[in-house]
Structure 1
Amino acid sequence: MSPARPLDKIAAGLAFLLGLAAILGALGSQYIGGLVPCELCLEQRLAYYWGLPLLALILVLWNRLPLPVWYIGMAIVLAIFAWGTYMGAFHAGVEWGFWPGPTACTGLGEEFSLDALNDLKPVIGCDVVQFRFLGISLAGYNALISLAIVVLLFASIAFQYRRNRH
């Protein structure tokens, strides 16, 4: 029988898998589904582009990292995804009209084409919802997924602290 995996590594691994599924879903919706990401959509992806490689490195080096380095690395990943949660919630609020979005991408209408200017691709306004499921937009789902990742990372840190306290 193999030894039980510590809960800290399981929680961190689940956070990584959830994040990987989310960014692959976002890229799939763009390149396969044809959805055009707005400025805020692209900015929300930064949490995955920065956080997932760092979390993958921590997972690979799990038992080889000095504990203080592990805590600092996990805290950085947690902070990155906390920022991602904020960005997703902010974008969802822009979509619902709770507050204005960046002037560069709000109020453009359903699709604003700059084809006359150097044949650029269509620009989608940050306040335009291209897809909803159960009344929640992709930005809303990103906020929820990023929050779940934050909770899993916090749990991982708490499990590690509890295990090493004794």
Structure 2
Amino acid sequence: MDEVARDQFSLTFNGPLEAGVRAVAVLGSAFPRAYDIQRLTAFDYLLVRTHQLGGPDDLHPVTPIQTPATEVRRRVVQDALHLMMTRDLVVRIIDENGISYRAGESAAMFLDSLRTPYLAALKDRADWLVYHLADYTDAALDDLMRRFFDTWVVEFQTVERSLGARA
């Protein structure tokens, strides 16, 4: 029983529902554009950390280590997209460019119904992020995410040393 409670607690902002709402917000802001899983995974990280890009204040509180962990997040984002597809909030597109995702038929109505301060701020940041990164190629976005990963490695090494680990 403790294991179940611990797993539910650790998913407060990172479960399929929360990641799904973030994905719908991004895809709603980008409509009619579609994004692949790699871009959506990066956007999932950046959406709550817009200040690091020179944008609005971060949506989530600062933590000592802010790993982008995009490869770890990818599975959560995939699960989130599948969940949102069951409610017509996201549509999967398969074409000559591969697999991508676009806001579904119910996305605009769903997003309009979200009225809490947190969700209003999330939608504002999704608008900002999509506009800010609109012209980024896949290579440019990969470079941006690599910079965050490099920063994370340095932060992790600093914390590790402060905890007494040997260099």
- Same fold, TM exceeding 0.5? no
Greater per-residue strand proportion: 2
Normalising by structure 1, we get a TM-score of: 0.32
Normalising by structure 2, we get a TM-score of: 0.32
